[in-house]
């Protein structure tokens, strides 16, 4: 059975959402969950639920890094933070993956320092799987870990995203696109123009520039971009989901006929919400660190936490970061001019 260390103090709804999510995961999935955080707080929260017989443990950590903390400073000051203790469990082999809904910068810096990097990768990248019209998710890398990038980092994102798509979604020869503002090669910014020749030189199925509207079309399997742009794309999408739900409900409620339509269509809403709901997707893997690290949304619900634990277990089983290491090592041998040259 896979063991996942859960930073139980990180999210906006911590520790309640984390504890409930852990219970849901331990009940429905073949995983053991180690809740990491203040023992007394977690014990009290757990005891409000029925968790008898479930594979759940508590590991004490005395400190918490908040959303307001500057990542680097908090890392130095809080050596017994819940995220750091959770990350150590992975480093020491007591867990195969860590899940946190906490301060993204701090989680990333901690995973990088404590778990260590895959050789050949300069900086870990946050990947997110977006739903598409084709039903096959598209992997977008990076969605917030690296806000100022160079061409070499984008090339590493492409390599990692390609492996993610192949290993997790079983995509054969994933189509890799570069997020830009026009399909033509000259349309973009300094970064995309400098990344294009490097991406072309890699042994990937690189299809050139794609635009923001192509993310959801499913025309590509992997899209690379700097983490600032990827994060904006992700959050614009979240915001728009809320707007659509609101607008549609208003429109449907506006007349009596529509009220009837609304009642009849209610079950359709449930499907719809499920397909676009961020919590269904269960967090974003941090690619390029040793072991597994899944970063969940700060506002994660228990269901989102449960799904993040599911994703962590899946990544641990697939040994994705080992695949990245092997691939980069293979390229070094055959091609000195690769993404990590």
Kind and range of the H or E run holding 100: strand 97-100
Task: Give the nearest distance from C-beta 22 to a copy of itself in angstroms.
Answer: 26
- The footprint of a copy of itself on residues 85-124 (CB under 8 A) is 105
What are the structure tokens assigned to 113, written together? Answer: 């320092």
Binding mask 18-57 for a copy of itself (x = CB under 8 A): ----------------------------------------
- Nearer Cβ to a copy of itself, position 116 or 182? 182
Residue of 264, 333, 336, 337 that binds a copy of itself (CB under 8 A)? 264
Task: Give the nearest distance from C-beta 254 to a copy of itself in angstroms.
Answer: 7
Residue of 152, 261, 277, 340 that binds a copy of itself (CB under 8 A)? 261
Could you check whether the bond before residue 112 is cis, i.e. omega within 30 degrees of 0? Answer: no
Task: Give the nearest distance from C-beta 132 to a copy of itself in angstroms.
Answer: 8
Q: What angle do CA 153, 157, 161 make, to 5 degrees?
A: 175
- Nearer Cβ to a copy of itself, position 75 or 234? 234
Residue of 173, 200, 235, 330 that binds a copy of itself (CB under 8 A)? 235
- The footprint of a copy of itself on residues 154-213 (CB under 8 A) is 179-181, 184, 186-190, 211-213
Task: Give the nearest distance from C-beta 206 to a copy of itself in angstroms.
Answer: 19
- The footprint of a copy of itself on residues 271-310 (CB under 8 A) is 271-272, 275-276
- Nearer Cβ to a copy of itself, position 97 or 105? 105
Helix or strand or coil: residue 56?
strand
What are the structure tokens assigned to 262, written together? Answer: 């609304």
- Nearer Cβ to a copy of itself, position 72 or 94? 72
Q: Give the range of 27-35, 83-91, 222-230, 316-324 binding a copy of itself by CB under 8 A.
A: 222-230
Residue of 148, 334, 336, 337 that binds a copy of itself (CB under 8 A)? 148
Specify the DSSP class assigned to residue 63: B
Q: Who contacts 32 (Cβ-Cβ below 8 Å, separation ≥6)?
A: 1, 2, 3, 4, 26, 55, 56, 57
Q: Give the range of 38-46, 255-263, 286-294, 327-335 binding a copy of itself by CB under 8 A.
A: 255-263
Task: Give the nearest distance from C-beta 255 to a copy of itself in angstroms.
Answer: 8
Residue 213: name the closest of 333, 276, 133 by CA. Answer: 133
Residue 261: name the closest of 249, 272, 273 by CA. Answer: 249
Contact of 210 with 179, CB cutoff 8 Å: yes
- As to burial, measured by CB atoms within 10 angstroms (0-12 exposed, 13-18 middle, 19+ buried), residue 93 is exposed
Task: Give the nearest distance from C-beta 102 to a copy of itself in angstroms.
Answer: 13
- As to burial, measured by CB atoms within 10 angstroms (0-12 exposed, 13-18 middle, 19+ buried), residue 49 is middle
Burial pattern 172-201, b for ≥16 Cβ within 10 A else e, equals: eebbbbbbbeeeeeeebeebbbebbebbee
Q: What is the binding site for a copy of itself (CB under 8 A)?
A: 67-68, 70, 105, 131-133, 144, 147-148, 179-181, 184, 186-190, 211-217, 225-229, 231-244, 246-248, 251-252, 254-255, 257-258, 260-265, 267-269, 271-272, 275-276
């Amino acid at each position: 059975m896979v063991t996942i260390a859960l930073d139980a103090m990180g999210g906006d709804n911590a520790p309640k959402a984390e504890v409930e999510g852990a219970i849901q995961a331990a009940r429905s999935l073949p995983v053991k969950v180690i809740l990491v955080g203040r023992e007394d707080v977690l014990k009290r929260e757990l005891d409000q639920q029925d968790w008898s017989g479930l594979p759940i443990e508590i590991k004490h950590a005395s400190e918490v890094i908040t959303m307001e903390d500057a990542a680097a400073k908090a890392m130095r000051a809080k050596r017994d933070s819940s995220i750091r203790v959770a990350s150590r469990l992975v480093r020491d082999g007591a867990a195969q993956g860590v899940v946190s809904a906490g301060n993204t910068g701090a989680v990333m810096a901690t995973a990088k320092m404590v778990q260590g990097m895959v050789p050949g990768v300069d900086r870990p990248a946050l990947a997110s799987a977006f739903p598409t019209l084709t039903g096959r998710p598209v992997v977008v890398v990076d969605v917030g870990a690296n806000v100022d990038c160079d061409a070499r980092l984008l090339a590493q994102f492409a390599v990692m995203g390609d492996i993610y798509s192949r290993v997790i979604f079983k995509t054969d020869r994933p189509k890799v696109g570069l997020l830009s503002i026009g399909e033509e090669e000259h349309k973009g910014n300094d970064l995309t123009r400098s990344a294009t020749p490097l991406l072309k030189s890699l042994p990937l199925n690189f299809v050139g520039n794609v635009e923001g509207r192509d993310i959801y079309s499913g025309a590509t399997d992997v899209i690379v971009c700097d983490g600032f742009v990827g994060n904006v794309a992700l959050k614009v999408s979240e915001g728009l989901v809320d707007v659509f739900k609101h607008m549609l409900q208003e429109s449907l409620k506006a007349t009596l006929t529509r009220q009837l339509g609304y009642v009849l269509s209610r079950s359709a809403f449930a499907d719809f919400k499920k397909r676009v709901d961020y919590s269904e997707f269960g967090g974003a893997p941090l690619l390029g660190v040793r072991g597994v690290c899944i970063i969940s949304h700060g506002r994660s619900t228990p269901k989102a936490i449960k799904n993040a634990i599911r994703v962590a277990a899946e990544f641990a089983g697939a040994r994705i970061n080992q695949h990245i290491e092997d691939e980069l090592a293979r390229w070094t041998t055959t091609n000195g001019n690769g993404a990590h040259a």
